[in-house]
Amino acid sequence: MFITINKCKQYDVSLIKIGKLDEELHFRVFGHYWWQSCDNVLYSICLGMKTLVTLNNTHFIITVVKGTSVAAFQPDYICKANGVISSVYDTPSGAINFLYHTLFSSKTRFSGLLICGFNNEEINKQLLDDVPFQPFILTVNNLQMFIGMIRVSDQESFEYAGPGYLLSFIYRISAKKIKTLFVQQIHQRYCSIKEVWEKIEVLRNWDGRNLFGINHKKTQNLINILQTPSCTVNEWNNEIMMTQLYKHHLYKFTPANTPWYEFLLNWKEHNCNIIELYSVLKNIYSEEYQFKERELRAWKALLCSIGCTNITPFEKDKSEKKFWSKTENPANDKHIFLYLYENNFLDMSLPDNHSNLIVNKFWSCFNESLKANKKGSDGKSRILSIIANDFSYEKIKSNLLVAPTTIFDARKYARLNGPGAKQIEKPIRIVAKLSQEKLKQFSNFFEDKANVIMSSYKSDAKTQLPVLYLKNTKKSTLEKISRNISKWYKKNDFLLSAGRKSVLV
């Protein structure tokens, strides 16, 4: 499946254009065609990649293109030199050898992989830049397996691999030894690997877990790393990786249209490595937007996972401000801010004093409103339900001096009736005794053996009378309906089912 390049003749190859990674091509079903092995390491064959090599004092440029209709998901190659362009070939060797023979009428043959520079360490290093996941090869019992993508989950039955995990290999089947591509991918969290391979008529003597490669040591090492996703500041330009981290930490707690990635890229390009978190977040949200405590915690978790450090030199009770640094070694920034704080050089006040006064006035007015109302659902609970779900327990307790049980009741009131809404009136239940006439009718009905069946072994615990069961009237009801239908459709025959019995009308 993969050709390993050994140490051999060196060509002077230059990488003109790196090209791009295509998620559908490089990390999906046909991904193993788009990676080249060199010294047991896979390097990407990027779409649009261009390399230049000089042969016989002539510049040859090889370009990687997407496959033709015959092999639409495999890489093809075009070679150009002296204004002459080759046809599209499925190997770089075919393209370069054809054009060299056309120009010089020579039968000299070249290794296309060497001409493309896949044995050049500098080129290989550039090809791996911004790669979100580097596939690798597992060899199990002479079977080469291509691990195209690893995802994690909490499922122990999958060895903690998750939906999106992909492995493929080529195996010869049937008596004709036909080369067949097997692609394995986890789509659901709950499925049986054993059942999957029991439905396939090949490799029955293999353990399905071995064929999936999930219990291999190398796979498990990567799963352990991916279970705690992280990256460095230098990897912020890798949008695929950053999106994965965003979905892991922040996606569920912030509006979908939040320009989080634009904010991080702007900060990366800015000369200043330090930000005040709450101030910069206000700039990327609307003016009326109110942050929830869980959302702020999600932002902090995201910043930690992408290589940022909280360098705030004081506790939360001193100020709401939080300073974060994106440097790889934040120790110097910590020392500087600690020095500024200890010598009173830091402005600890909120950015907008007027806003601070408004906030204090809000809590004061709300506190007066609570004091003026009585306890209960139509008093304090209803008033507090207006803000109970928008502030944390600690915030409400510290500003309004109320008990946690009061906050709990207010949140329950908001869920049942709406924040501050009028309590929903419960329906009035009127209980009245049955009249003697109705009781007599009721008794006569249950004494009639045409309506009930008396239990021969079970009695009521209170009255000690035998338990009565209503007879099944389903059959008689259906027979009555069938008679009515037959009056309207005398010319037609209907087959009616009554319980387990069929009646032909």
The rounded percent of the chain whose pLDDT value lies above 90 is 21
pLDDT for 155 beyond 90: no
Q: What is the pLDDT of residue 292?
A: 86
Burial of 51 (0-12, 13-18, 19+ CB in 10 A): buried
Nearest to 95 by CA among 85, 105, 104: 85
Q: What is the pLDDT of residue 495?
A: 42
Q: When comparing pLDDT for 419 and 10, which is higher?
A: 419
Q: When comparing pLDDT for 320 and 275, which is higher?
A: 275
| HSE toward the beta carbon, residue 327, CA cutoff 13 A | 14
Lowest-confidence segment of 116-120, 185-189, 241-245, 266-270 by average pLDDT: 185-189
Helices marked H in 117-207: 121-127, 193-198
Cα(133)–Cα(381) distance, integer angstroms: 52
Render 32-88 in DSSP notation, one character per residue. GGGEEEETTEEEE--BT-EEEEEETTEEEEEEEEE--STTTTSEEEEEEETTEE---
pLDDT for 358 beyond 80: no
Task: Name every residue whose Cβ is closer than 8 Å to that of residue 13 and which is 6 or more positions away in sequence.
Answer: 51, 52, 53, 114, 115, 116, 117, 120, 123
Q: How confident is the model at residue 167 (pLDDT cuts 50, 70, 90)?
A: very high
Q: What is the pLDDT of residue 473?
A: 61
Q: How confident is the model at residue 503 (pLDDT cuts 50, 70, 90)?
A: very low
Q: What is the pLDDT of residue 422?
A: 84
Q: How confident is the model at residue 496 (pLDDT cuts 50, 70, 90)?
A: very low
Token pair for residue 338? 């600690």
Q: What is the pLDDT of residue 366?
A: 82
Which of 120-134, 223-237, 263-277 reaches the highest mean pLDDT?
A: 263-277
Q: What is the pLDDT of residue 504?
A: 38
Q: How confident is the model at residue 498 (pLDDT cuts 50, 70, 90)?
A: very low
Kindly state the average pLDDT of the residues 278-301.
Answer: 88
Lowest-confidence segment of 221-235, 344-358, 365-379 by average pLDDT: 344-358
The tens digit of pLDDT for each residue in 475-490 reads 665 665 566 556 545 5
Kindly state the average pLDDT of the residues 354-381.
Answer: 77
Alpha-carbon separation of residue 200 from 60, 147, 196, 205, 350 (angstroms): 47, 21, 7, 12, 66
The rounded percent of the chain whose pLDDT value lies above 70 is 87
Other beta carbons within 10 angstroms of residue 501's beta carbon come to: 9
Cα 494–Cα 496–Cα 498 angle in degrees, nearest 5:
165
| HSE toward the beta carbon, residue 93, CA cutoff 13 A | 8
Q: How confident is the model at residue 357 (pLDDT cuts 50, 70, 90)?
A: low
Q: What is the pLDDT of residue 453?
A: 82
Q: When comparing pLDDT for 377 and 379, which is higher?
A: 379
Q: How confident is the model at residue 335 (pLDDT cuts 50, 70, 90)?
A: confident
pLDDT for 344 beyond 90: no
Kindly state the average pLDDT of the residues 467-474.
Answer: 74
Task: Name every residue whose Cβ is closer than 8 Å to that of residue 21 and which is 6 or more positions away in sequence.
Answer: 44, 46, 47, 130, 131
Kindly state the average pLDDT of the residues 296-316.
Answer: 88
12-29 burial string, b = 16+ CB within 10 Å, else e?
ebebeebbebbeebbbbe
Q: Which helix or strand (DSSP H or E) is residue 277 part of? A: helix 277-284
Q: At 337, phi and psi to the nearest 5?
A: -70, -35
Beta carbons of 61 and 96 less than 8 angstroms apart: no
Identify the residue whose tokens are 């230098």: 234
Q: What is the pLDDT of residue 77?
A: 94
Per 3-state DSSP, the chain is made up of helix, strand and coil in percentages (nearest 5) of 40, 20, 45
Q: What is the pLDDT of residue 260?
A: 95
Cα(262)–Cα(381) distance, integer angstroms: 42
Beta carbons of 400 and 362 less than 8 angstroms apart: no
Identify the residue whose tokens are 């690997």: 193
Q: What is the pLDDT of residue 499?
A: 42
Q: How confident is the model at residue 353 (pLDDT cuts 50, 70, 90)?
A: very low
Kindly state the average pLDDT of the residues 311-329.
Answer: 82
Cα(241)–Cα(237) distance, integer angstroms: 9
User: What integer best gives the mean pLDDT of the chain?
Assistant: 82
pLDDT for 316 beyond 80: no
Lowest-confidence segment of 47-51, 172-176, 257-261, 427-431 by average pLDDT: 427-431
pLDDT for 216 beyond 70: yes
Q: What is the pLDDT of residue 500?
A: 40
Token pair for residue 119? 């044995």
Q: At 457, phi and psi to the nearest 5?
A: -135, -10
Nearest to 237 by CA among 204, 264, 271: 264
Task: Name every residue whose Cβ is closer than 8 Å to that of residue 53 and which is 6 or more positions away in sequence.
Answer: 11, 12, 13, 14, 59, 60, 62, 115, 117
